[in-house]
Chain A
């Protein structure tokens, strides 16, 4: 634990135990989403599915990156990850992004994907709101993740016919916002 780090955050008026619990729940959401997106991605097949596979893979890898970026902050603030993977899954801040009954139903697949991203956007917006102007490092981290989750949402939303995302696919590298926390 980084004692002074925690002390500074406490002094700013943030309930650190509550914040750590939120970070753990969101770390769980990222790792479980990485797992569930693996299943979704391998089932994105056929003429329609292939068109989504690339962005589903990018979102999958970036969600794993979010987990990698989050857990150090949890320990810095005096928290820890649960010792049991099943417990970790069950405390996720977002529901499981389970494979739809009919994986060839592209709209159902996209709905699972966009709902997962929307849950994440809500979660990181909330963490940003709680930490803005108080816990600068957590805010920076949550904002970086939020930037990527918003892009994921917009990609899947575009495919659902909700309007243009305004973005293009990543070209080569992943996590343009979060990568600074992974070095």
Chain B
């Protein structure tokens, strides 16, 4: 592998990893507060992509085909809003009634919601893969010699970093963030201190799902073929990225995503591309053997 190839693969890995990171942020946030894996997260991501599919043409018509970036921003915000509402509704209808039941019941319900969205999606959107409209032109960024970076890759990376910083700020420096951390530590005690748990949890779901919506749009812009089952694989990989980074830890999710993206890319480029997923996951298992709570996770003692 020549040096320029090596750097090209690093770029490829970072841009792929940025997606895993973006989706993983949503997983890790919900887990951080509620201690449960929202398996429907990958499917909310899919709904985000379909929002973009249905409104892009209309938004672009309103802008008269001009102001590409402005119309892209409107589409992105719309998808985030729809997904935020969807996240709140899912929590309200499916998870809240089970909040004081065993965690396993909620986990199974999450899988049920995931399947519901996938097959409901097939019913409403049709099962045929659709071509996602061109929201923003994907142009190469020049001046890098033989290295190829496209505007989309820069955009995805930038959005991921920006959202990570914003999330970190919300969690660490706002009143709602304080409430989220309080609920995460001890929900009953937080309630006694006057924290409205329902609001905090709804907010967490809205935020996490809005992130999934944004990821869905960015994913569809970069890989313009969407179908109702498109969320399954990125969802699983992002989940792994979140676990790798230490689930519940925001920067950990981002780092986990980037590591996964880079490992996958280098295995894919090697002579063992056939075993890409197998080797990538073997590396993850290896890391977890040495750091069972993930890279940034703190080992906790299970309270009995």
Q: Is chain B found bound to chain A in the same assembly?
A: no
Interface, chain A (partner B; CB < 8 A): none
